[in-house]
């Protein structure tokens, strides 16, 4: 079997973010989060609850974008909101910008009243971050994404949550930020972004250069683990035989 690619390292890192979640709704936005969550369900956390991203809970674990085989439940949008408030959910969202304090922006670039670039809108980010565990996936780690201060706060970081009071912190839980270079969290000093591991072939300096603010580094930073041969087989043969992961994260 050939060596793991960067995309496959990312998939295993996403899977690890959901490994300790137990029996909750794993809710991925985008291809890599979807791949990682399905890998997790097939390996470290068989209790994880998956959906087709539309309205059905899946009993089985189909390949990316395949039709559901066994259905185990119904999750239309109205019930997604119910589960967000219920709390048994871990969402991994995208992020056009993330700042030093782990605030996320998917709304607009520039001045909100007259944006230079209109993005999706706040979507569910404000509600997600104060209700259930939230992680982020960033396919292209760059100083334009990791920016000193986001233009619009859609996903709420821990410092902003604390400023908003107990109702905002009670269930607030930013868990992981997985990028094409590294794995981070928001547990640095003063609730800042902190480096947890660098992917094989990436240095701590590489991450620094690709970031628009100083990411907190404490001591020796380990390498992100490689996927096992079993995981590689699942990624390559079962979940993503078309190799969509490499379109999102090409080999460096």
Partner 1 sequence: MSRPRDKQMTIDQVVAELRDGMTIGIGGWGPRRKPMALVRAILRSDLKDLTIVSWGGADVGLLAEAGKIRRLVYAFVSLDSIPLEPLFAKARQAGTIPEVCEWDEGMFATGLRAAAQRLPFLPMRAGLGSDVLVHNEDLALVTSPYADARGDHEQLVAVPALRLDVALVHLNRADVHGNATYLGPDPYFDDLFCMAADRAYVSCEQIIDTAGLTVETPVQRVLLNRMMVAGVVETPNGAHFTTCTPDYERDERFQRHYAQAAGDDDAWAAFRERFLSGDEESYQAAVRAFHDEEEK
Residue numbers of the site for partner 1 (CB under 8 A)?
A: 54-56, 76-78, 81, 84-85, 107-108, 112-127, 129-131, 152-156, 160-161, 163-168, 170-171
Rank residues 28 and 227 by Cβ distance to partner 1 and give the closer one. 28
Smallest distance, Å, CB 75 to partner 1?
9
DSSP one-letter string for 68-127: PSSEEEE--HHHHHHHHHH--EEEEE--SEE-TT--EE-SEES-TTS-SEE-S--TTHHH
Rank residues 7 and 153 by Cβ distance to partner 1 and give the closer one. 153
Please give the Cα distance from 15 to 227 (Å, whole number): 10
Q: Which long-range contacts (CB under 8 A, 24 or more apart) does 168-175 make?
A: 168/130, 171/87, 171/130, 171/131, 171/132, 172/129, 172/130, 173/132, 173/133, 173/134, 174/102, 174/129, 174/134, 174/135, 174/136, 175/17, 175/90, 175/133, 175/134, 175/135
Task: For residue 150, give the DSSP letter.
Answer: -
Smallest distance, Å, CB 110 to partner 1?
9
Rank residues 85 and 218 by Cβ distance to partner 1 and give the closer one. 85
Smallest distance, Å, CB 28 to partner 1?
15
Smallest distance, Å, CB 92 to partner 1?
16
Smallest distance, Å, CB 125 to partner 1?
7
Rank residues 6 and 133 by Cβ distance to partner 1 and give the closer one. 133
Rank residues 5 and 128 by Cβ distance to partner 1 and give the closer one. 128
DSSP bridge pairs for 97: 105
């Amino acid at each position: 079997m050939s060596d793991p690619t960067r995309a496959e390292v990312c998939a295993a890192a996403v899977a690890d973010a959901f490994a300790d979640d137990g029996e909750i709704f794993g809710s991925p936005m985008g291809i890599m989060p979807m791949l990682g969550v399905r890998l997790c369900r097939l390996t470290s956390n068989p209790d994880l609850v998956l959906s087709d991203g539309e309205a059905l809970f899946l009993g089985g674990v189909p390949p990316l974008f395949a039709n559901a085989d066994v259905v185990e439940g119904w999750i239309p949008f109205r019930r997604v909101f119910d589960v967000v408030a219920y709390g048994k959910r871990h969402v991994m969202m995208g992020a056009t910008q993330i700042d030093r304090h782990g605030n996320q922006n998917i709304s607009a670039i520039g001045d909100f009243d007259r944006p230079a670039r209109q993005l999706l809108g706040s979507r569910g980010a404000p509600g997600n971050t104060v209700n259930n565990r939230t992680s982020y996936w960033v396919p292209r780690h760059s100083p334009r994404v990791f920016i000193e201060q986001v233009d619009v706060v859609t996903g709420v970081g821990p410092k902003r949550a604390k400023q908003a009071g107990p109702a905002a912190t009670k269930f607030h839980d930013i868990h992981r930020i997985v990028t094409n270079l590294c794995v981070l969290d928001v547990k640095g000093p003063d609730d800042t972004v902190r480096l947890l591991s660098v992917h094989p072939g990436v240095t701590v300096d590489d991450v620094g250069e690709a970031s628009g603010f100083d990411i907190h580094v404490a001591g020796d930073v380990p390498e992100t683990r490689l996927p096992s041969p079993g995981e590689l087989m699942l990624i390559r043969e079962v979940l993503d035989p078309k190799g969509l992961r490499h379109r999102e994260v090409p080999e460096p």
